[in-house]
Amino acid sequence: MITIISGTNRIGSHSLKVSNICKSIVEKQNHVSHLIDLKMMSSTNLSSEMYLPDNQGSELSTVQDEILMPSKKWIIVIPEYNGGVPGIFKLFIDIISTRQKDQTFHNTSALLIGVAAGRAGNARGLDYLTNCLNYLGTNVFPTKLPISSINQVLTEGELNAGTYETLETTISNFLKA
C-alpha cells in the first residue's frame, strides 16, 4: 500500500488537489493507495496531553496502526507556509512519533512534493522535512519535486501537461525504487 499525505488542513487546498492526482497516478500503476487528509486533525482536541503515547486519540491511533505502519512508501504533498511546512503537519509528525515511532518511520521511504504559489515550490520546506524524516529513520527519495506557481499549473483540479508528466515520472521512479 502507498500512503499519500496531504500536509495541510486548509479547506480547498491545492495540496489536496495534487494529492488526489498523485493517488490516481499510483492507482493507474496498479498500486493500492490510501490518502490521509489532515483536515481530519481539525476535530482533534490539540493539547500537550497528546504527546503522551497513551493519549494520542483513537482516530489518530487508527490512522497510525492501520495506514501508516503497514505502508512502507509515503508520498507527502506539502504546501509552503512561511518558508516552511504547515504547523498541523509538524504536529501530526510529532504526535505519531511519540507512539510506535520505529514501527511507523523506520524502513519507510518518502517522496516529497512541495506546492507553492511562488517560484521555489517550497524548496526550504522540503529540505526541513527531509531533515525531520531522516532523523526519525525514514529514507527520503533523493528526487524531490517542488511544484512552483501552482496557481498557473493547476486549473480546475488538473495539472498542465508538463507538470503532470513530471509528477507521473517522479512517482513511477519512486514506486520502482
What are the cell numbers at 66? 492501520
User: What is the reported pTM?
Assistant: 0.95
Torsion of CA 136, 139, 144, 145, to 10 degrees: -80
Segment 76-101 shows an average pLDDT of 93
The 10s digit of each residue's pLDDT in 133-157 is: 999 999 999 999 999 999 999 999 8
Tell me the CB-side half-sphere exposure of residue 14, using CA atoms within 13 A: 21
Average per-residue pLDDT in the chain? Answer: 93
Single-letter amino acid code for the residue at 150 = I
Write the class of the CATH domain 2-41+49-176: alpha beta
